[in-house]
């Protein structure tokens, strides 16, 4: 399913010029120089092929060449009409292995001379004449006379003929020959498991996938076989699970385009140690917006610099807010357009699939709505205050994960994938998320908006609790009441004594939320001293609130202990009551009377 979906994606991306991906048998390479030849094959010049970027800095140009990219460690493996100076000229700056350089040039020369009669093109013959007469000694002499060439030796080069605008590898007749060539005589033919086509050359090695965090920089295999345990019926390597060379190229090219191509920034996100890529089977604004929404939440629109992208994000947020309203504003049919999310993590020289999610765009939006409905709670900060941005209406997944640890390095690598899966599939949230947040609250005694949202979401979805988004004065759960009571006692202390370095919350929150019977008698006695310092209506209203809360406590007294579930409800009662203290009350009715 994964390889099939990626192979299908290749067909779509190949027709989109924004992605600049290669067709089968070709690869994009960084070209930094051109070996310009006279028609008779003699050298005219070695020219700089780099281009200036927006900052005026010279960079290699990205050009399509014949043949696929060469993986490191492939031995002596000459390209066709392109390669580095080692192969094309027999030259390498400060060469530690001149014998290998000479062997590489010889292999490059032999490959081209062997194909001259078959290709039968005058420009290709010019290259062959050059290679026949050239020697590494001439390369060294040329570089001595033109030392600026040393700047170009780190990239790849092409051949051109003097007076021709196109390099030799772009001549139409040569490209036609390459596209029509027969499979190598030693190719193994079979039926492709991806396409179902029979009689196709089977890939012995699958493509290397690059830019997965933590994996080898040269790339790692998504599909590989390297032990006798994977061989059956005498079919070694990948021939026992046949994928055609064309299909392997397509899925590898599509996946690399999502991970490291020109448009990779909008297709790739990071969840813990997992690199995730996502796409739709049709071009959609979801591809443009899901990544930035997942990483920025509802602040995505304000963070976007591009006006077009900002409008797309605002449209996406509108869809999330619209509830059951039709999705007429999307640029595709959400019921028919498929959405895919693939999570990859390093595993030695290979990649492991952490998860693979497939749904429609409509299901994606509905599940995101369900997620944000479950975690919806009154925001602690609803307006910008100084440099502080308001709490996000739609928190990003990483903002939720960040509440589980002191620093990002301590976040469980498996927790991110579990959370993302729960969000996208509308399934139970990981209980480990709940326990991690409760531990963090007990450690630093802080119940903020994001932590309260996590607790509410898990209690709502996993435990079928009915939790209000704002203060619920009808909630008689002892844990909720005691959370409210603790907030009221803390506020009374602050009103009486001002902000303290070590107040009621710092000293008693952890024990009050876990073993209330051992703490509340003591802090209620302290409360009387604090209340005495208040005056007038302020004092009366506070005493009335505390007595109303205490009236709801069972006659048996304060519970001796709270389990994790009740500790979460305690935190919500505390958060709701604190928020209510700092919410401006509507006094229009009393004024009118």
pLDDT tens digits, residue range 142-193?
888 888 777 877 789 999 999 998 999 999 999 999 988 876 656 788 889 8
Whether pLDDT at 233 is above 80: no
For residue 592, name the pLDDT band (cuts at 50, 70, 90): very low
Identify any residues that bridge with 344 across adjacent strands, giving them in sequence order. Answer: 275, 353
- What single string gives the DSSP state of each residue in 279-334? EESS--HHHHHHHHHHHHGGGHHHH--SHHHHHHHHHHHHHHHTTTS--TTSSS-T
Q: Which residue has the higher pLDDT, 378 or 393?
A: 378
Query: Do residues 189 and 197 touch, judged by C-beta distance below 8 A?
Result: no
For residue 593, name the pLDDT band (cuts at 50, 70, 90): very low
For residue 327, name the pLDDT band (cuts at 50, 70, 90): low
Grouping H, G, I as helix, E, B as strand and the rest as coil, residue 380 is: coil
Residue 214 backbone class (left: φ over 0; alpha: ψ -120 to 50; beta: rest): left
State pLDDT tens for residues 410-446.
Answer: 888 788 888 988 999 999 999 999 999 999 999 999 9
pLDDT of residue 185: 59
Whether pLDDT at 496 is above 80: yes
Whether pLDDT at 550 is above 70: yes
For residue 7, name the pLDDT band (cuts at 50, 70, 90): very high
CA atoms of 292 and 269, how far apart (whole Å): 9
pLDDT of residue 183: 65
What's the chain's average pLDDT? 87
* Least confident interval from 77-91, 235-249, 367-381, 436-450: 235-249
State pLDDT tens for residues 263-314.
Answer: 888 899 988 788 999 999 998 888 888 888 888 776 666 666 677 777 777 7
Tell how many helices (H) and how many strands (E) occur in the chain.
22, 15
Whether pLDDT at 127 is above 80: yes
Of 437, 371, 418, which Cα lies nearest the Cα of 570? 437
CA atoms of 581 and 543, how far apart (whole Å): 14
pLDDT of residue 312: 76
Grouping H, G, I as helix, E, B as strand and the rest as coil, residue 473 is: coil
Of 183, 197, 193, 184, which Cα lies nearest the Cα of 235? 193
Q: What is the mean pLDDT of residues 546-556?
A: 90
CA atoms of 84 and 98, how far apart (whole Å): 15
Whether pLDDT at 587 is above 70: no
Strands 200-201 and 189-190: antiparallel
Q: Which residue has the higher pLDDT, 110 or 592?
A: 110
pLDDT of residue 298: 62
CA atoms of 538 and 501, how far apart (whole Å): 24
CA atoms of 1 and 486, how far apart (whole Å): 53
pLDDT of residue 533: 92
CA atoms of 366 and 273, how far apart (whole Å): 27
Domain borders along the chain are 15-180, 184-257, 263-469, 471-586
Q: Which residue has the higher pLDDT, 392 or 550?
A: 550
pLDDT of residue 258: 94
Handedness of CA 413, 418, 421, 422 (dihedral sign): negative
Q: What is the mean pLDDT of residues 59-86?
A: 85
Percentage of residues of the chain with pLDDT beyond 90: 51
Q: What is the mean pLDDT of residues 516-545?
A: 92
pLDDT of residue 582: 86
Whether pLDDT at 16 is above 70: yes
């Amino acid at each position: 399913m994964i390889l099939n979906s990626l192979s299908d994606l290749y067909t779509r991306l190949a027709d989109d010029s924004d992605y600049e991906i290669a067709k089968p048998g070709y690869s994009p390479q960084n070209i930094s120089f051109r070996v310009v030849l006279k028609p008779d094959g003699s050298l005219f010049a070695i020219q700089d092929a780099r281009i200036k970027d927006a900052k005026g800095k010279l960079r290699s140009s990205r050009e399509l060449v014949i043949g696929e990219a060469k993986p490191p460690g492939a031995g002596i493996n000459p390209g066709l009409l392109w390669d580095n100076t080692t192969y094309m000229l027999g030259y390498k700056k400060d060469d530690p292995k001149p014998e290998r350089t000479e062997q590489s040039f010889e292999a490059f020369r032999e490959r081209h001379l062997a194909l001259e009669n078959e290709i039968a093109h005058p420009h290709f013959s010019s290259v062959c004449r050059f290679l026949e007469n050239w020697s590494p000694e001439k390369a060294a002499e040329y570089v001595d006379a033109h030392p600026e060439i040393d700047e170009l030796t780190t990239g790849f080069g092409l051949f051109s003929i003097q007076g021709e605008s196109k390099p030799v590898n772009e001549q139409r007749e040569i490209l036609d020959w390459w596209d029509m060539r027969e499979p190598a005589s030693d190719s193994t033919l079979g039926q492709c498991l991806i396409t179902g086509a029979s009689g196709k050359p089977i890939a012995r090695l699958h493509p290397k996938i690059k830019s997965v965090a933590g994996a080898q920089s040269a790339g790692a295999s998504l599909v590989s076989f390297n032990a006798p345990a994977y061989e059956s019926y005498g079919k070694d390597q990948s021939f026992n699970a046949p994928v055609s060379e064309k299909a392997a190229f397509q899925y590898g090219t599509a996946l690399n385009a999502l991970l490291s191509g020109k448009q990779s920034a909008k297709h790739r996100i990071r969840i813990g140690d997992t690199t995730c890529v996502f796409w739709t089977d049709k071009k959609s604004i979801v591809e443009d917006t899901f990544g930035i929404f997942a990483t920025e939440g509802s602040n995505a629109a304000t963070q976007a610099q591009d006006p077009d992208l900002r409008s797309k994000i605002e449209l996406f947020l509108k869809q999330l807010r619209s509830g059951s309203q039709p999705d007429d504003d999307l640029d595709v049919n959400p019921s028919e357009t498929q959405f895919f999310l693939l999570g990859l993590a390093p595993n030695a020289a290979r990649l492991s699939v952490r998860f693979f999610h497939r749904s429609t765009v409509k299901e994606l939006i509905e599940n995101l709505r369900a997620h944000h409905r479950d975690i919806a709670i009154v925001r602690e900060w609803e307006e910008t205050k100084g440099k502080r941005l308001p709490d996000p209406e739609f928190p990003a997944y990483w903002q939720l994960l960040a509440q589980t640890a002191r620093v990002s390095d301590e976040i469980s690598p498996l927790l991110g994938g579990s959370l993302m899966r729960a969000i996208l599939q509308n399934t139970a949230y990981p209980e480990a998320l709940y326990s991690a947040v409760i531990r963090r609250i007990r450690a630093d005694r802080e119940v903020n908006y994001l932590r309260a949202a996590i607790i509410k979401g898990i209690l709502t979805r996993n435990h079928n609790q009915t939790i209000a988004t704002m203060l619920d004065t009808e909630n008689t759960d002892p844990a909720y009441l005691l959370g409210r009571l603790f907030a009221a006692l803390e506020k009374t202390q602050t009103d009486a004594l001002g902000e303290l370095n070590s107040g009621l919350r710092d000293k008693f929150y952890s024990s009050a939320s876990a073993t209330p019977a051992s703490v509340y008698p003591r802090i209620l006695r302290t409360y009387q001293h604090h209340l005495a310092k208040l005056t007038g209506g302020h004092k009366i209203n506070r005493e009335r609130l505390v007595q109303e809360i205490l009236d709801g406590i069972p006659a048996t007294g304060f519970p001796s202990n709270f389990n994790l579930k009740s500790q979460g409800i305690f935190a919500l009662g505390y958060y709701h009551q604190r928020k209510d203290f700092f919410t401006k009350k509507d006094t229009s009715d009393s004024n009118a009377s």
